[in-house]
Each structure stands twice: as structure tokens, then as C-alpha cells.
Structure 1
Amino acid sequence: MKICQVLFVTVVIAVCLPGTLPAASAEPTIIIANASADPGLTTTAEIRCHNVEHLLGFTITLGYDPDVVMVVGEETNPEFGMDMSVISNNKTGDVVLGPLSIDADVTGDDVWLATVTLRADGNPGDVGVLNITTDALIDTANDQIEPRTDIDGAFVVAGSAAPKPFLVSGFVFHGDGSECNGPIVSMSNQSGVQWQATTNDGCNYYWLLLTAGTDIDCCETMRFSALHGDGSASAKYTVTPEDVRNGGSRLFNITIGSLPGDLNGDCEITSEDALLTLQMAVEGEYSQIADVNRDDQVTSLDALMILYEAANR
């Protein structure tokens, strides 16, 4: 009887001791590594499976933003057999990775599945998600291994943004439409920084190379001033998003009107000229053409005089 009691106590203790029960299997996790590269350069990212037993094969879809990153190469673990991955449709932002597995039997805490070669196609600072979807994770019994977890990665376009040039250019004409060769053309931004454009005595073309985002920004108003002899003209232009994308504004032509008060250079005095003069007066700008009373300043009086002249023509 005592012997039976001792055996019973021993069995109970053995069952209750920590670590003597079989440990629950950890859930398989498929993960892709984060990656980064400078614009136009390539790098690699591994896809691995943690805590897997008796793995025969796999099929994984990798999704990404092709404007940020592009899959340009891949390699699957030869332990699983022939590589059957399809990346020919990489421009769509989805590729399929996987081997033709027949007799593989892989168990491990950290199993290499595949490696993808990634090219940075975005701009510095762009971030894209490397989205993995495990379509199949098959064990040696030809069954899906469930449950399992997919963990996405991130791709970062490294480097600093290159300065983006912004070209401002156009032609200068007299009020009668003839070419105004050798003008003096200057331009300023909304911060009041002023530059003088490059011109030539033998032609009426001017150009100025600025830097977008530094010298000039989208939706900012550029102010122009053109001088030639006794004539002058002032003009404005608002930068559009398309201008920034195209690396400069469209050709911006300036007409130096020979007619006092002809602000828009159409060789006529109209209410539009009066309105332009009033805007200059409000903003403290100056133009010889607008200064019709020749007091070396543009005021509402000049606008009123131009409007009176337009009404009586």
C-alpha cells in the first residue's frame, strides 16, 4: 500500500513540474526585410519564414508602389527546388515568388525563402510598403500550414533631393510689335529677391535660371520689369504646378508700350490699363508707362487719368 502511494505522488509531481509539458508550436511568420536605396540604385531584401516545420513549398505575392520601388530580380532558396517565380509583370506592382517543390522537407526557426532585388524609382524621402501575401505555405503532407502571419516591410528612397532647375524666359517687344533688342529685364519673387535676366544686344530674348522650391515656388507670383531706352513695362506671372513639373514657365513675353498708359502693350488705352495701374499703385510698384502724370510714382491718380483717357477715345 505504501509503495502505491509513493508511485502516485511521484507521478503527480512529475506532471506538475514546469517544462515537462510539451510546448505549443509557435505560429509560422513570413516576413520581408526593410530596404533602402538611392534613386536609380538597387538593393536586396530577404523573405524569411520563422517557426516552420516540414515545409515543402510556398507561393508568395509581393505588392509595391512601382512609382517608388521596382522588383528587378529575384532568387528562391534552391533547397525547395526549381525557381518558378514570375516577375515579368513587375511594372504593375505585383510579382509572384515560389519554387516547384517535389521532395523538400525544411524545418527551422528562421528559414530563407527568397531574395528580391529592388530598384529605387522614386524621389528621396519617398516610402513604399512591401506588401507580402502568402498564397500557399505547404507542408510535406500537401496541406496548408495554418495559422500563419504575414509581416510587411518598407522601402525608403534615400539621398537628398537634387535641386530642380526652373527656367524663366521669353521675348521683349515694342508696342508696335517690333522686336526690342537688348532690353534690361529683371524679375523678383514674392519675398522681394530680385534677379537680372541674361539678354543680348542683338536679340530680344531673355532668360533666367532659378531653382524651384528655393527661389520660386508653385502658386507664387513672379514680377517682371523690362527697360529699353525711355520705355518700360511691368508684368506679373503666377507659377503653376505644371510649370514646376516642366522645369520652368511657358514663354513669357513682355511688351514695352510706347504709348503712355498702355500697360498691357496692346497699343490702346482701355479700362484694363487703368485697372493694372491701380493694382500697381496698391502694391507700391512703379512703371514709366503707368506714371502718366510724370511725378515719379504710380498712384490712383494715374489710374484715374488712364480711365478718363480710355472713356474719351
Structure 2
Amino acid sequence: MVNRNQTRVIEFLLLGFGDLHNLRIPLFIVFLIIHTMALTSNIVVILLVVVCQSLHSPMYFFLSQLSLSEILFTSNIVPTMLWLILKSGGKLSVARCISQFYLLAIPSTTQCLLLAAMSFDRHVAICKPLHYTIIMTFGHQLQIVMSCWFLGFTMSLVVYIFLKQLKFCGLNIINHFFCDIAPLLRLSCSDTYFVELITALVSFPLLLSPFLFILVTYIFILQTILKIPSSTGQKKAFSTCSSHLIVVCVYYGTLSSIYIFPPRENSVNTNKCISVLYTLVTPLFNPLIYSLRNQEIRSAILKYIKVLRSSKI
């Protein structure tokens, strides 16, 4: 802990992409387009799951919740990012900065749990197909989803409450485009040991436990698929969970690059690039994977495109 209590900090200076002055406008346009596409694609997924009868199944219900978490996640980060690009940096109050992290933590935690719920759904569908309708009733789906969101809100709230107790003085520069927990802890002139301990106790089980659960369920899924006598049956069974497996790899790959195996502190630009993938590209990538690799979603999209065209005629 550094003694910096000579000046009380009431706001942080976020540098954003301030070192890319010549690319400011092109970067803003590209990021705005990607953000708009991400929001649109996730909203389309949610609407399709709600209105299309063929998508009223547990897998798509969980997918709609994943899309909802992506909307909340990217809507919290990207508007600030775009504002910082236009202004070549900007200031956020301490309270707003900590609140932004809280609103970032909720969907991030919930996504980990939802991905685990989706792997459980695939496990039951492939390993226990005769019991699928009994186990995955709508009531059970609702309980699982509500538990995911409840844990996301409450566990993030615990960390938020302790972050609110920190005092900031002296340095107030964050060389990033959003308020993450690491720079907040570095800039605090309070003793951060207890906050770091609470964060570790809350975050590691909620991040690693779903990943381990997904790993174990896919081991059982793979064992079951290999027992299927025909290669056609094996391909059909694996295709039902391939989209989810790709999303898990992308999500945990970017997450681990930022938080578990972060770049060195002098690799600020590398960290920003990875964060852009995590906050901007991944929310667009996930619905595209399911749309491109899933016949039922493609059919639903084509069906409603035809309906719209015929209504115009």
C-alpha cells in the first residue's frame, strides 16, 4: 500500500484509445457497427425463441438467457468505449466507475453459470434421452435460470459492497476503456488485502466450478457418443452440442487471457485488444455461431424473412 492520502480522488481519468488519434473516427465507426450488429443479433435470438414454436426447448431457452446477458454486458461497456474514443479519453466519477464494474460482473458471472446449465442440458439430452422430458421441465429450466441470475447478482454485489469501502487518493489514471477491478485495487490508498481475499473467494468458485462442470459433462457426453454404433448417429449427436462447445472455448479463452493469464503490465495495448474481443466481438460471435451451425434457428430466421417480404407485397 502506497501512502497517497494527500489528495482525495473523486473521479478517474480513463485514457481509452487516446494514443490512436488518427484512427479515432474509423475506430468509432467500426466499433459502433459491430456493437449494433451484436445487439441486433442477440435481440433477434431472444425474439425467435419467444415467438417460434419450434424453438420452445430447454437449449434455446438457455440460449435466449445467454443472449440477454450479452446485451447487458456489451451495453454497459461499449457506450463508454465509444465516448472515450470520440473524446480521446474522459473522466468518470469513482462511484460510476465502481458501478460499471458491478454491472460488468453480473452478466459475466451469469454467463459462466448459463454455459454450465447448457452443458447439463446437452448431457441429459445425449446421455439420458429417455428421461429428458422428465428432468428438463419448464419449471426446472426456470429454476436453473433464476439461480444463475440470482448468483450473478448476489456474488457481484458482495464484491461491489467491499469495493465501495475503498478510498482513492493521489493517482487517478486508468489506461483502459472501462473500469475493471485490477486498476481500481492498484489505485486505492486503502488496505486492499481483504477486498482481494473476498474477490478471490467469490470469483474463483463461480468462474472455475462451471468450467470444471462443463469439462466433466463433456467427458460423459463423449463417452456416450463413442458408444453409438453408426458414424451418422455419432455426427448427429455431436452436432447438437458443437455450437455450445465452440462458445465455451471462445468465452473461457478470452476470459482466461484477461484475468487468469493476463499480459504483462507493459503490454497495455495487447490487453486492450483482448478486452475488445471480449467486450465487443464475443457478444456478436455467439449468436452467429448458433445461427450458422443450427438448422432450426436458420429455418426460423428464413421463415420470418419470408413472412416480412410477403407482408410488404
More helix by share: 2
TM-score normalised according to structure 1 size: 0.20
Larger radius of gyration: 1
TM-score normalised according to structure 2 size: 0.20
More strand by share: 1
Larger RCO (CA within 8 A; separation ≥ 6): 2
